[in-house]
Amino acid sequence: MNPNLPYLHPYPFEKLAQLKHGITPPHDKAHISLSIGEPTHPTPHFIEETLLTHIQGLGVYPTTKGILELRMAIAGWLSKRFQIPVDALDPDTQVLPVSGTREALFSIAQCVVDASGGEKPVVIMPNPFYQIYEGAALLAGAEPYFVNSTEATGYLPDFDSVPERIWRRCQLLYICSPGNPSGAVMGQADHVKLLDLADKYDFIIASDECYSELYDDETQPPVGLLETAHRIGNSAFKRCVVFHSLSKRSNAPGLRSGFVAGDAEVLQPYFQYRTYQGCAMPLPTQHASIKAWQDEHHVLENRRL
């Protein structure tokens, strides 16, 4: 077995199940669900209808890269949502559909971390954190380095506290904005600081933006990493990969549909890796995803609710 497997901690809900084992809940108390990442509103009917309309697509092997129409829909959404020129994103080289962002956030570390050198690589991540980041680092043979997000820093990671010796060993940095679980939002200045560090120390930034469409001010949507990169002249999105999902945006976690976008020099070998490892998105799911990325009315209603 992979010698790094024993370093993986049980997943949070496995821990919770173990803690609750053998306990009978009191009948007079209401259940409090700790699955706070799971949407409570229904999936839009048009997504379900599209899925059923294209159900015959189950008889066809899907490709890892997905159909062009899906990648174009994703690129179009990114362009509109993050004010990036429509020709700045190449659907062929800078967009890759994935079967849910959890597997992509995990597998990106297996692809980009090089543990063959003498000094152990470091993967930096916020604390508290999505446990996938830690597991990905451990299985890639890297050392997780946790950056605390405290009240004093507005619940954003205190990257100023990271010593230079850690930055020098860093190969991958996970960020999450809006943050899980705090909801704290990184601004353009935060992105610029990290992009400068990535250039100086040569690491990749993996920006988990799966909660980007949940905000309470329609005039101030959270800024995205690709948006900042393009604004400061990084038009090729060097060292930037972002992760988005329909799970929260469209109340469709069971669809298992998301994407990775950004630096073509990262995504090309990642695509090759995914032809072996990745789960190709079924065609019915791809067609339902196209409709979801092209519609904003249900997203506005979701935010209102």
Q: Which pLDDT band holds residue 33 (cuts at 50, 70, 90)?
A: confident
Decide: helix, strand or coil at residue 135: helix
Q: Which of 235, 228, 240, 233 is nearest to 191 (CA)?
A: 228
Please give the model's pTM, rounded to 2 decimal places: 0.93
Q: Which pLDDT band holds residue 190 (cuts at 50, 70, 90)?
A: very high
| Whether the bond into 126 is cis, omega within 30 of 0 | no
**pLDDT surpassing 80 at residue 229:** yes
Supply the pLDDT for residue 279: 84
Q: For residue 179, which phi and psi values (nearest 5 degrees)? A: -75, 145
Decide: helix, strand or coil at residue 143: strand
Supply the pLDDT for residue 35: 65
**pLDDT surpassing 90 at residue 157:** yes
User: 45-101: per-residue pLDDT in tens?
Assistant: 999 999 999 999 999 999 999 999 999 999 999 999 999 999 999 999 999 999 999
H or E, element range at 32: none
The mean per-residue pLDDT over the stretch 177-195 comes to 96
The mean per-residue pLDDT over the stretch 131-137 comes to 94
User: 96-133: per-residue pLDDT in tens?
Assistant: 999 999 999 999 999 999 998 889 999 999 999 889 99
Cβ–Cβ contacts within 10 Å for residue 83, how many? 13
Question: How remote is the C-alpha of 202 from its chain's centroid?
Answer: 21
Cα–Cα distance, 124 to 157 (Å, whole number): 10
Question: Is domain 64-215+223-304 in CATH 3.40.640.10, yes or no?
Answer: yes
**pLDDT surpassing 70 at residue 36:** no
DSSP helix, strand, coil percent of the chain (3-state; round to 5)? 45, 15, 40
Supply the pLDDT for residue 1: 81
Q: How far is CA 11 from CA 2, 127, 144, 209, in A?
A: 18, 16, 16, 21
